[in-house]
Structure 1
């Protein structure tokens, strides 16, 4: 899991794909963390992406760094525990502190319940990492 989290951090910005009414929606994200062995990301529960995640938890992340790229696909679930939000804030304070506080009732974290990350390059075979 560390390898996946570290890779997404090196991307700086990665993209999350959701769907709504069978139409894809892709948007940039930038904060991830590992908590209790799971891959987490954060969003605002007032945004459309939040509703899309709740209605259809099948997602895919994609990011690129230094001529390689990662694709993470699977099913996500909201974690409403304060400890999970605190872990996210502690790992991403610089990026998140201007937007959220742990107890603001806006900051919401999701984690991959199950899924697979695949690291790709033009010169090597893809490397698969199970998230469950």
Structure 2
């Protein structure tokens, strides 16, 4: 297993679950990954949302990607534990505003002043299947 396999899995299954914390309370929500490459896993959110404030307060997160296989014996998930970098990159921000233009219609206002891009570019990744139910401590992990 290598980082390219992780990037491929995330790209093929871009809906994931992001876990953050708010004080001592865990918070989790589904999130659509924007893209992944050798520099990390990229996402966007909006600054008024609670998730953004949680990322600012504690950048340690966990992600879970799942392939949603029809047969559970083919089910596979990929977990990423890492640290978020909040990016101040106008080029990336403009690109996501183009790629996700439909969001402006949903929110009912321009998004350029509230869109926040972040990535997880350091952490640990591992895969898990039903065959691994009691083997989690033994599973191969990749640090990135």
What TM-score do the two structures reach when normalised by structure 2? Answer: 0.74
Structure 2 equivalent of residue 43 of structure 1 = 45
| Structure with greater Cα Rg | 2
Tell me how far 1:39 sits from its aligned partner: 1.9
Tell me how far 1:40 sits from its aligned partner: 1.4
Contact 2:11-2:36 at 8 Å conserved across structures? no
1:5 and 2:7 correspond: yes
**Structure (1/2) with the larger helix percentage:** 2
1:76 and 2:80 correspond: no
SS at match of 1:85: helix
**Structure (1/2) with the larger strand percentage:** 1
Structure 2 regions of 5+ residues with no counterpart?
A: 70-74, 105-109, 133-137
Structure 2 equivalent of residue 112 of structure 1 = 120
Equivalenced residues, count: 127
Cα deviation, 1:31-59, whole Å, max 9, x if unaligned, reads 23236622211111110000000000000
Cα deviation, 1:48-106, whole Å, max 9, x if unaligned, reads 0000000000000012113000101111110011123345457xx2xx22115x97122
Change (3 A) 1:89 1:34: farther
1:85 and 2:93 correspond: yes
Runs of 4+ more than 6 Å apart: none
Contact 2:36-2:42 at 8 Å conserved across structures? yes
